[in-house]
Structure 1
């Protein structure tokens, strides 16, 4: 037998066997398939949402965020939705929904077998139909990840199982209510209440029959029947819904023709969530709380957590108002400096052209073949385009943070002038050069090594070698006087040359390490001499935290957002507090606080006394970076440390004013306003005093200066010796050079004893610098004298 003959014989044999067994197989298959399907359903049940999960879906409770004084700050909802009861929804919405989506809703128990069979027959004949009931749709809406949306038997079975569970747990009214409150309607609107507000600017209870039909019509395909961008399709679909309502007795037939001819009359407005009292704070808190909830098996959107924060709603309100007031005043100055909203290119053509080149519109024109000149000329002549661009670039920004230095609790947090316009958080996200507000770290490091506030350094030209042959020449707004300047006066009048020489003596590595210990822990600090003048960008949160360390006798307290978390029944789940970490010795810290008082009493921060009338025991520091790009001010009081930053999102844009650009005139008023209100309302105790060795007042300060002058005039001081291991203030010895590269690590400099001469301080300099210091080396941007 050949191979072909064998194949033919085998085929014939199999055919005879199949013909004999076929009747038996048919019968067995008919009996076996339902059994297999039942087994498969039983296997799928554990992989569908459980009864507990379905119950939770109806009673989801978002985390509620409260201030320290009991005010609701925010609710963390997963979607933009407002739950309403059936009584709050127009009856015509329910009529339209049932007539269109599930006319036998009140007769079935989750699955409409008649509709499912009819949809299957139409689908097999080529007319694809959907057979899902409202309960099945609700199952998909509530559990999209568990059920899925693929067109498979497994998905349909999961959907059916879940629908049966829902019907067993919910009443029909509860199912309708849950469905209408969870169905999406585009534009971040979830549920019928948000849909009514978004498309018709009214509540769900005020919807008429046409509006109800329009919204229910969208359920067949939100995007396809979107009444905003596809009004003709939405109109046709609305009329189909009206026809269904007539067909099933929910609308008199006589009204159909007239209603069908009516226009849509959409009143569209996107719904935005209320920003709340402290939106930037809430934004940061949400990130932290999600991590905590994940670690502790909680859901911030459904478990009804109650979070008690450190924010004081009264201080928060004061800070928001103070920042808004000062920001509006500075905006008028910026508008005048830049020639109005559309005048930024006219005020500075090169910068204006740079702004244009950074836009998507410019890149699109270049991609289409236009050359640079043509693209610039066309866009610069487009008034609406330039108005929007200039308004964005020249919008003044500001930020504010206040905390209690005794425990690290954050009391007020304002991340920008307007959260809706600029949600970017300038407190914790923006990194800007801190300017002279960084100088206290240099003086703190010197006091830690034994220096005294009365020690002096000669005000002389300074040249410090940096990379290669480059020389850094820090300058002030006045030429060197050649006179000795006390450390107290150096920080009070923010002398750059004095601070630079002091930095040489203590070393950049030691200063950088101290700054990190005190609170500047997230930003990179370049270990270079110019760090003394605040050339490494940092956040406002870091700086206020570090000043909190100064106000807390040198003990760092990690900034705290939350004091405790409770469940919905009030049981405490977790409590939080900061643990003190010693960053600077007490003695050195008290010297630092003492000299920083002089910044307020007679230095660059005197407006706190003269303008705001604050008589409390306070200390602080102003700061301004090169070209007035950033204005800073941080004020310390024993119970509250408050800091503000003012600038623009683009550091190339400034107020273009040597007066208004300074921190003493841009940022200080925000802090001064807040502190003045806090003291008057007794939220902060005006009688609180820093625990320092001495609290010199105006008369005591004058007496000390007179005594020093008398001793110097009538007592011949011995000439200081010049051993090899010592140095004089007028001839500083170079310390071991620290790494200068941008990626250099913070390292400890070789030990070098501080050497100062004891001489009388100079007479007071003007409280504010009128110009920006110059530098002759291509170093990072330096700080103005402030």
Structure 2
């Protein structure tokens, strides 16, 4: 009987062994799903994040599905490899993809003895197989099949890759959590440095995360991560990769992170990066039409932009400093009578334009049901200049809260090439996605006047021609009567063109337009790079035309670029994943000057007067800037838009400030004029640049001396007062009536 049971037992064991062999063989034959061939394994491609660099080679952003930046073996320090092998697979250099000793330990302890602390038996090669071919089905019944598949793949990998190549592939593919893949992306995220620059304790921290990327995340669980890092260091010492004394000194060190999230909403220049992304999508589409396939999210492109890292940083600092203060003054000026609090008609209009209202409307709810829903209070986060606040508020409360925010757009570019140096599309990309540089067309106010005066000079009007500041009522324009907010006796004053421009006298600007002709002004604007269709109206002289901010910047650049307009551009070059140049972009400049050199010099002198003694004089008096600067302020009707354009020999800077809701303006001109609302952003930016000697080539650049003939043409009395008899028969309180005869 004993022999019979023994015989049956042996047959059963042999049967189980044969079944196991056949089962393993069936997995290898592909009966449980295909396995990659050696050709497949040797030809696999990483999905690589595309990288965005500033002109001074600082990485500021990435475009990716998976945040991965593969590196070569030579860029991986030895201590990174040692840490990995010591804690994850200490017999890595001895086995051929499968560690049978570890498998025996797992079988004995984990399976038979149910000891969960015994760990797993997967080698680094098997883990690489899992990284490259992730398990699709998480059911326990498929774990055995998946494990066996990974063993087959691991053995094939060991045949075609060296140990160094396997380690490199592993470190390039392994997940570090938060959609971050590969050691290079992890090093940049947690320590803001390349893998090759990681210190030993930093490498141990990252390698320690691999056991559980969330549980050992040093940002979320610093104490737990520290324990795990020290365990890695201990494993290195145990495997003779690290002297005991050095291990002890490293264990005593804290984890010091320099965390940097490459998030589209955060970081430097988010509006700029978004515009780069749009242009890259268009470029990739154009390449696809020629048979060249590039994906900005997976092809690992290197995008080298025109942006200057430091200048952008200072520009954003300057913007935040000014806008926070201005927002406080703006809200205080309205007090309890603010339109976002009391103007029910405006509030209702805003509600009906909101996304949530339209969504509820589309779902079939009636007006009362929608409003009841929007009035319901709930826990939400509201943001202001002091940060995030968790409050109980309704959707209507939230809409009213965000209605009040002033926004801004600013751009700085090289006037010779059009290369963008700074780009600020708004106050906060996460909450205000609309880009006021590339997407917003606003009335430009008095910043359009230099184009009018440029056209006037080109048709032969002398700069010392005098124009009366008297207010006129134009009969053929339905009694339109542009006025000034200046002196009471302006009806008796006659301004030279330089004085009128520097003090932004509206009545004179209209008269200069009349004498020049509207068609000539519009033609000049077009030649200076204004592609937007302008209204053929006399009010154009006061800047009623709506123009993109980057258009205006390109037009003003012509004053610093021999009369030639430039097209602002953002990308210098694009390279592939191996850093081989794919395309280099050349500046796009007008082939012919829009105006003569003499006109250019006259206009620069006029706009220098704006800064030295005119509407922008606070650059000198308040902000104490001694740089060579010319410029023009601008304010639109009802104080809806504030502008300032600054010209220096090496930089053009344009700033707009206002509200996205066109129906709300500044309470007063003193607060909402360009000199108060927009100019300070440039002033603070220039102050910051002045502190750094490395930017002296920009900040200390000087305007070229004008020709003596130009100085002679401008040598006249700024203002002439009407003679006694003329004053005697002129009533300053009565508007003179006439017809506008400027081609309208």
Q: Secondary structure at the match of 1:57?
A: coil
* Per-residue deviation, residues 77-106 of structure 1 (Å, max 9, x unmatched): 343458898988899999xxxxxxxxxx94
Distance in 2 (alpha carbons) for counterparts of 1:378 and 1:476: 48
Q: Where in structure 2 are the equivalents of 1:173-192 lying within 5 Å?
A: none
* Per-residue deviation, residues 192-218 of structure 1 (Å, max 9, x unmatched): 999xx99xxx98755698988999xxx
* 1:551 lines up with 2:540 in the alignment: no
* Per-residue deviation, residues 443-489 of structure 1 (Å, max 9, x unmatched): 111111111221122334444577xx855432323576154332222
In structure 1, which of residues 330, 345, 354 is the aligned counterpart of residue 349 of structure 2?
Answer: 354
**What is the deviation of 1:627?**
2.0
In structure 1, which of residues 465, 485, 495 is the aligned counterpart of residue 495 of structure 2?
Answer: 485
**What is the deviation of 1:365?**
6.4
Correspondence for 2:60? 73
* 1:689 lines up with 2:703 in the alignment: yes
Q: Is the 8 A contact 2:556 2:565 kept in 1?
A: no
In structure 2, which of residues 400, 408, 415 is the aligned counterpart of residue 390 of structure 1?
Answer: 400
Q: Is the 8 A contact 2:549 2:654 kept in 1?
A: yes
Correspondence for 1:632? 643
Q: Cα 1:695–1:559, aligned 2, differ >3 Å: closer, same or farther?
A: farther
Q: Where in structure 2 are the equivalents of 1:258-277 lying within 5 Å?
A: 272=263, 275-277=266-268
Distance in 2 (alpha carbons) for counterparts of 1:631 and 1:49: 64
In structure 1, which of residues 524, 534, 556 is the aligned counterpart of residue 543 of structure 2?
Answer: 534
> What are structure 2's unaligned runs of at least 5 residues?
1-28, 72-79, 90-96, 101-125, 137-149, 191-203, 218-260, 378-391, 727-735
Q: Is the 8 A contact 1:552 1:638 kept in 2?
A: no
Distance in 2 (alpha carbons) for counterparts of 1:687 and 1:275: 34
**What is the deviation of 1:72?**
3.0
Q: Is the 8 A contact 1:551 1:690 kept in 2?
A: no
Q: Secondary structure at the match of 1:659?
A: helix
Q: Cα 1:377–1:457, aligned 2, differ >3 Å: closer, same or farther?
A: farther
**What is the deviation of 1:564?**
4.2
In structure 1, which of residues 525, 532, 546 is the aligned counterpart of residue 534 of structure 2?
Answer: 525
TM-score, with length taken from structure 1? 0.60
Q: Where in structure 2 are the equivalents of 1:117-132 lying within 5 Å?
A: none
Q: Cα 1:495–1:272, aligned 2, differ >3 Å: closer, same or farther?
A: same
Q: Cα 1:598–1:572, aligned 2, differ >3 Å: closer, same or farther?
A: same
Correspondence for 2:51? 63
Q: Cα 1:135–1:316, aligned 2, differ >3 Å: closer, same or farther?
A: closer
Q: Cα 1:618–1:375, aligned 2, differ >3 Å: closer, same or farther?
A: same
> How many equivalent pairs are there?
571
Correspondence for 1:656? 667
Distance in 2 (alpha carbons) for counterparts of 1:472 and 1:168: 87
* Per-residue deviation, residues 367-386 of structure 1 (Å, max 9, x unmatched): 78876578657745746124
Distance in 1 (alpha carbons) for counterparts of 2:403 and 2:343: 13
In structure 2, which of residues 421, 440, 448 is the aligned counterpart of residue 411 of structure 1?
Answer: 421
Between stretches 556-565 and 173-182, larger displacement belongs to: 173-182
Distance in 2 (alpha carbons) for counterparts of 1:106 and 1:502: 87
Between stretches 353-362 and 287-296, larger displacement belongs to: 287-296
* 1:669 lines up with 2:680 in the alignment: yes
* 1:319 lines up with 2:311 in the alignment: no
Correspondence for 1:618? 629
Q: Cα 1:420–1:487, aligned 2, differ >3 Å: closer, same or farther?
A: same
Q: Cα 1:93–1:652, aligned 2, differ >3 Å: closer, same or farther?
A: farther
Q: Is the 8 A contact 1:504 1:735 kept in 2?
A: yes
Between stretches 318-327 and 546-555, larger displacement belongs to: 546-555
Correspondence for 1:267? none
Q: Is the 8 A contact 1:62 1:302 kept in 2?
A: yes
In structure 1, which of residues 460, 476, 484 is the aligned counterpart of residue 484 of structure 2?
Answer: 476
* Per-residue deviation, residues 701-760 of structure 1 (Å, max 9, x unmatched): 998428x869x989x9xxxxxxxxxxxx996762443xxxxxxxxxxxxxxxxxxxxxxx
* 1:443 lines up with 2:433 in the alignment: no
Between stretches 608-617 and 434-443, larger displacement belongs to: 608-617
TM-score, with length taken from structure 2? 0.63
**What is the deviation of 1:525?**
2.4
Correspondence for 1:280? 271
Correspondence for 1:113? none
Q: Is the 8 A contact 1:353 1:376 kept in 2?
A: no
Q: Secondary structure at the match of 2:326?
A: helix
Distance in 1 (alpha carbons) for counterparts of 2:155 and 2:279: 38
Q: Is the 8 A contact 1:631 1:646 kept in 2?
A: yes
Q: Is the 8 A contact 1:628 1:658 kept in 2?
A: yes
Q: Secondary structure at the match of 2:441?
A: coil
Q: Is the 8 A contact 1:63 1:302 kept in 2?
A: no
Q: Is the 8 A contact 1:548 1:556 kept in 2?
A: yes
**What is the deviation of 1:409?**
2.1
* 1:331 lines up with 2:342 in the alignment: no
Q: Cα 1:472–1:614, aligned 2, differ >3 Å: closer, same or farther?
A: same
Q: Is the 8 A contact 2:49 2:66 kept in 1?
A: no
**What is the deviation of 1:492?**
1.6
In structure 2, which of residues 433, 442, 456 is the aligned counterpart of residue 432 of structure 1?
Answer: 442
Q: Cα 1:583–1:357, aligned 2, differ >3 Å: closer, same or farther?
A: same
Distance in 1 (alpha carbons) for counterparts of 2:520 and 2:156: 67
Q: Is the 8 A contact 1:330 1:666 kept in 2?
A: yes
Between stretches 390-399 and 639-648, larger displacement belongs to: 390-399
Q: Cα 1:360–1:57, aligned 2, differ >3 Å: closer, same or farther?
A: closer
Q: Is the 8 A contact 1:86 1:173 kept in 2?
A: no
Q: Is the 8 A contact 2:574 2:584 kept in 1?
A: yes
**What is the deviation of 1:651?**
2.2
Q: Cα 1:332–1:139, aligned 2, differ >3 Å: closer, same or farther?
A: same
* Per-residue deviation, residues 133-153 of structure 1 (Å, max 9, x unmatched): 98897666799xxxxxxxxxx
**What is the deviation of 1:433?**
1.4
Distance in 1 (alpha carbons) for counterparts of 2:664 and 2:177: 38
Q: Cα 1:455–1:357, aligned 2, differ >3 Å: closer, same or farther?
A: same
Q: Cα 1:368–1:78, aligned 2, differ >3 Å: closer, same or farther?
A: closer
Correspondence for 1:741? none
Q: Cα 1:611–1:696, aligned 2, differ >3 Å: closer, same or farther?
A: farther
* Per-residue deviation, residues 667-719 of structure 1 (Å, max 9, x unmatched): 0001112223334432524351144336999xx9998428x869x989x9xxx
Distance in 2 (alpha carbons) for counterparts of 1:160 and 1:695: 86
**What is the deviation of 1:351?**
2.0
